[in-house]
Structure 1
Amino acid sequence: MSLISIARRGRAIALVAGALMILPLAAEARPGGGKSMGSRGSFSRQAPPPTATTPGGGQQFQRSAPSMAAPAAGAAAQAARPSFARNLMMGIGAGLLGAGLFGLLSGAGFGGLSGFIGLLFQAALIAGVIWLALRFFRRRSEPQLASAGAPLPRDGYRPEPADASARMGMMGAAGAATAAAQTQPIELQSADFNAFERLLGEVNAAYSNEDEPGLRQRVTPEMFGYFDEDLTANVRRGVVDRVSDVKLLQGDLSQAWHENGSDFATVAMRFSLINAMYDRKTGQIVEGDPNKTQEVQEYWTFQRAPRGDWKLSAIQQAA
């Protein structure tokens, strides 16, 4: 095989690898994209306890802002941790450079004008992948808690026994001591549960309509940042994420507490929806099925400032 063929194959392989890297980053649908993100205050490092709705408990955060308790330590750890995306992209970039050098050594340069344009396109592709990957991996887990266990006051909901001692045991001795020192359990009213159900529909509707002002009113700044990143990525892909027919099927209160002047409530929800991705220009379906109802189990955490309204502060997947 000639050096020219090797160079061309090297560039082709690098191009395919870059395209494959984009797919998992872009394949996100519905608010949260099936990931765990946000903050549960002092309990952000702990998975939500199981409920009748979610017997397996919840997952820990995949995307979360640095802990307010130790921002310097979190930043230092992030800076010191090697970036998988950065290292992989550097490897692909090195492969492209090597392919170009092979071409130069063989006397074919970069393959003429078309080869040079192709190389520029590949470089732009690599830069875009690096940017997306760094944004995707830049936030990692953070702090979490435990409290009451009451069902949402809704027909068909099953009571969840409030076994505080069992839940505290799940947290571990150190985590329980820290949370107990700075949190206090609270009781919620029917109006609170009605607000949670309303927000489930309103957040999905605002996300589907790409209504950023509406999202800002209903979610915390951290959650808005995550949603904004996902919506921006959809615009770059040329797709729009549509969510409809959101219906709460069952729900249980997992935890409710007060800390640092704010109230928090983590609710296990089982709900149905229809979700599909459409091409922005043609309207053709890119992902999902607009005629198929999906069923989702997630933990939604809500936060309320004094005399304020509840806002979504976290979404976590059920285990």
Structure 2
Amino acid sequence: MNRRLFIVLTLVILASFSILDIESAWARAGSGTSSGSRGSRSTVAPAKPTPTTPRPADPSPVVSPSPMAPRPSPFGGFMGALGGFMLGGLLGGLLFGGLGHGFGGVGLLDLLLIGGGIALLIGFMRRRAQSPEPAYAGASSGRSTYGATVEVPAAVSDLDRGVDHIRQMDANFDPKSFATTARSMFLAVQEAITRRDLGSIRDSLTPEMLTVMQTQCDDLRQARRTNRMGRIDVRRAEVSEAWQETGQDFVTVFLAGEMLDWVVDDATGAVVDGSDREPQPFEEYWTFARPVGPSRFRLTAIQQG
């Protein structure tokens, strides 16, 4: 009896769990280090640019409605519930050896039947919640009777909205041209780090970023090492974010490609870090800021992808 009780209760518990959706959320953690400030978005991962050529969606076949389509049986839900109670009765019979064999287990049998009924009710309500609702009162459930297509205006993205705000004070702002400028800035920064001299890019950095990069150059010089880079191939340079806050324009550019990145000892020329033969992929987000209006942008943050 104890063994049969364990089996039946296990089946009931498993059936209850099958009704519930167990969802897990996860978020991808960025690799490497980041520096600088992105205003209120400093603690938020930068948005990755959308594909420039999205794959077209497969056309949906037009289904002609049948005038004689059968209507769903109004007894479907009741019969399903009845079947559930019958199943509960069978489980009770398995547990107690038949309904007519004494009344010592009626209380537990009732609990099983009630539990089965609640499980069926929850399942029915969840299916109703997941079924598509009409767009308005009296509308059909998602299909047009005459196969007509309803075009819904595309929602304005956060990027487009930000670009529009920037253009209100700088009509000449162009995301594509800005991405090209950011690519050139990326190459100029790598060259300056290799020389350990930021003179050529000083005016293009915010004070915070200037301090970060100057510290990097000073550390290399003190250790008598040089960070060399070569075969830099920036394959993507796209504006992924644009917004305004506290009287400033912010623009983030997604940069991706591959490059050689290695460190040598100034005395011996030996490679002490990285590789001068195998290019390494990179994905970075460079954010630039300026006072609102047609003024010069400066690099304010670098975040790893």
Give TM-score scaled by structure 1 length.
Answer: 0.46
RCO higher in structure (CA 8 A, sep ≥6): 1
Give the number of the structure whose residues are more often helix, by fraction. Answer: 1
Give TM-score scaled by structure 2 length.
Answer: 0.48
Larger radius of gyration: 2
